[in-house]
Amino acid sequence: MPRYALKVEYQGAPFAGWQRQKQQPSVQGAIEEALARLEPGPHTIAAAGRTDAGVHGLGQVAHCDLVKDWDPFRLSEALNYHLKPQPVAIVAAARVDDDWHARFSAVERQYLFRILVRRAPATHDAGQVWQVSHPLDVAAMQAGADMLLGRHDFTTFRSSICQAASPVKTLDELRVEAVDGFSGPEIHFHVRARSFLHNQVRSFVGTLERVGAGAWAPADVRSALEACDRAACGPVCPPQGLYLARVGYPADPFAV
C-alpha cells in the first residue's frame, strides 16, 4: 500500500486535541473521516506529535497508507474538499517510503508560543494567543530561558499525567522575541527539541511569564529546574497561544 506524508495546518479551538476520541471532535478524526470518503476505511493515521485541546498546528506531519496510487497534489486537494468547513487543511502531501514514519522518523519538533500584551480584549486574535495586560521584560525572560537549555531532568516542567518513559530531555532552543503584531505587541517563544514531555512548553512559558512580570528572578528558573518537583513549576499557561510549528526529518519529504 502506498504511504503518504501529510503536512497539516489547523486551529485547535474546536477540537479536543489531535488524538481521536470517542464522542469528541479531534483533528485526527476529521482527517480519517475525510480519507474514508476517498477510500473505504477504517483509516488510522499516525502523527509526529499529539497536541492538546486548544493547541494549533502550523506544520504538524502525519502519514497514511492508501490502496490507490494517488498523485500527492490531487490527494491534498481531495482531502481539503472533504475537510470543509472544519479549520483543518492539508498544505502539502508527498509519497514516502513504506518504512517512513511521521513520528519515529522525526529528528526534531519546533513549537511557537504567542503572548499578546495589551489591555483591550483580543478580537481577531481571540483563541490564537495568550493575552496578558501587564508589561513583560523580554531580557529577563531570555535569561531565565537560558537556564533550561541543554540536557536536564525536566520533572518540574512535566505534567503529572505524562506518559514518557523518562523526564530527561535535551532542549536545543528556547528563544524569546518581542514582535510588533497586528493587534499589538507580542512576545514569541521559539522552542526546539527532538521530543517533549507533556505540557513541557506550556510549563516553560507560564514560568517565564512570571519572570517577565517581575514575580520571579531569572535565577529562580534554575532553582525550579534543579528541584525536580512539579510543585516548583510556575503556572501552566493556557493552550491557545501554542502552535506546533515544524517537524524536522533527515530529509524533508515535502521538498520540491
Say which amino acid occupies 35.
L
Say which amino acid occupies 174.
L
Residue 228, Ramachandran bin (φ over 0: left; ψ between -120 and 50: alpha; else beta): left
| pTM (predicted TM-score) | 0.95
Each of the 256 residues of the chain gets a pLDDT tens digit; together they read 899 999 999 999 999 999 998 889 999 999 999 999 999 988 999 999 999 999 999 999 999 999 999 999 999 999 999 999 999 999 999 999 999 999 999 999 999 999 999 999 999 999 999 999 999 999 999 999 999 999 999 999 999 889 899 999 999 999 999 999 888 899 999 999 999 999 999 999 999 999 999 999 999 999 999 999 999 999 999 999 999 999 999 999 999 6
Q: Of residues 52, 146, 172, 220, which has the active-site annotation?
A: 52
CA distance 49 to 241: 17
Res 140: pLDDT? 98
- The structural domains of the chain, ordered by start, are 3-105 (3.30.70.580), 108-246 (3.30.70.660)
Buried b (16+ CB within 10 A) or exposed e, 123-159: eebeebbbbbeeebbbebbbbbbebbeeebebbbbbb
Q: Identify the three-state secondary structure at position 30.
A: helix
CA distance 14 to 28: 13
C-alpha cell at 38: 476517498
Residue 69 annotated to the active site: no
Q: Identify the three-state secondary structure at position 95.
A: strand
CA distance 104 to 145: 28
Cα–Cα–Cα angle for 49, 53, 55, rounded to 5 degrees: 65
CA distance 244 to 113: 9
Does 243 belong to an annotated binding site?
A: no
Cα–Cα distances (Å) from 26 to 57, 89, 99, in that order, read 13, 14, 26
Residue 6: strand pairing partners: 62, 93
